[in-house]
Amino acid sequence: MRAPFANGDLGGARAIILHRPHAAVVAVTRQLQAIGLTVEAVWPDLPATAKAADVLFFDADMGFDAQFPWPAGEAPLPLIALIGSEAPGRIEWALSAGAQAQILKPVGDSGVYSALLTARHGFAARLALTTAVADLRNRLDARQTVVRAIVRLTRTAGSEDAAYDRLRRMAMEWRVTLEEAAARVVAAPAPTRRVQGGGL
């Protein structure tokens, strides 16, 4: 996923409106074009190029999961729901689809710009959180690999402290991080005898 409107300017961005023919489409298109966005209105199918757009407006009243070629809540671009019916079920569906902002119908002469900024901010926050979670998972996996390597080296080193020192020396000799050295130790065939120095 990429950051929306990466150049910090809404002008020149591309918007898709996934909505049946409706006055809301006309109103949203007019506001978007006034801001400087290019607009494509489609229904009921998204084009293959939808993932490359900068923002997607969608019909929360008549929309359905199969219209989106990605898992619910994992859209690769900011989503803005166009809501006419405030039925709890439709609002809940729009939120589960991943809407970061909404515009109530009938759409007037304003509201689109603030919805764009809100959606952009929400999408960027989601990207940052996703990246942070992935980083934490990678770090946890790396720590588990280090533990597995130390357990393995303890068999020949005699103690956990000695095994950790051996792993640290390996990392220095191989000029890699401790985690990379641990991954090599874990991936290597099990030793059949005690090896001196930096070997496994």
Q: For 135-170, write each residue's pLDDT tens digit.
A: 888 888 888 998 999 999 998 888 989 998 999 999
Q: For 98-140, write each residue's pLDDT tens digit.
A: 999 999 999 999 999 999 999 999 999 988 887 888 888 888 8
Place of tokens 């020949």: 156
| Global confidence as pTM | 0.70
Q: Which domains does the chain have, with CATH numbers?
A: 14-110 (3.40.50.2300), 135-187 (1.10.10)
Integer-rounded Cα Rg, in Å, for the chain is 26
- Whether residue 58 contacts residue 24, with contact meaning beta carbons closer than 8 Å, is answered with no
How far from each other are the two terminal CA atoms of the chain, in whole angstroms?
40
- Torsion angle of the four alpha carbons 65, 62, 13, 11, in this order, in degrees rounded to the nearest 10: -150
Count CA within 13 A, CB hemisphere, residue 110: 1
Task: Tell me which residue of 58, 118, 60, 57 sits closest to 88, measured CA to CA.
Answer: 60
Q: Which two tokens stand for residue 164?
A: 């950790």
- Whether residue 67 contacts residue 45, with contact meaning beta carbons closer than 8 Å, is answered with yes
What is the spatial distance between Cα 181 and Cα 176, in angstroms, rounded to a whole number? 6
Cβ neighbours for 68, distance < 8 A, ≥ 6 positions apart: 46, 75, 97
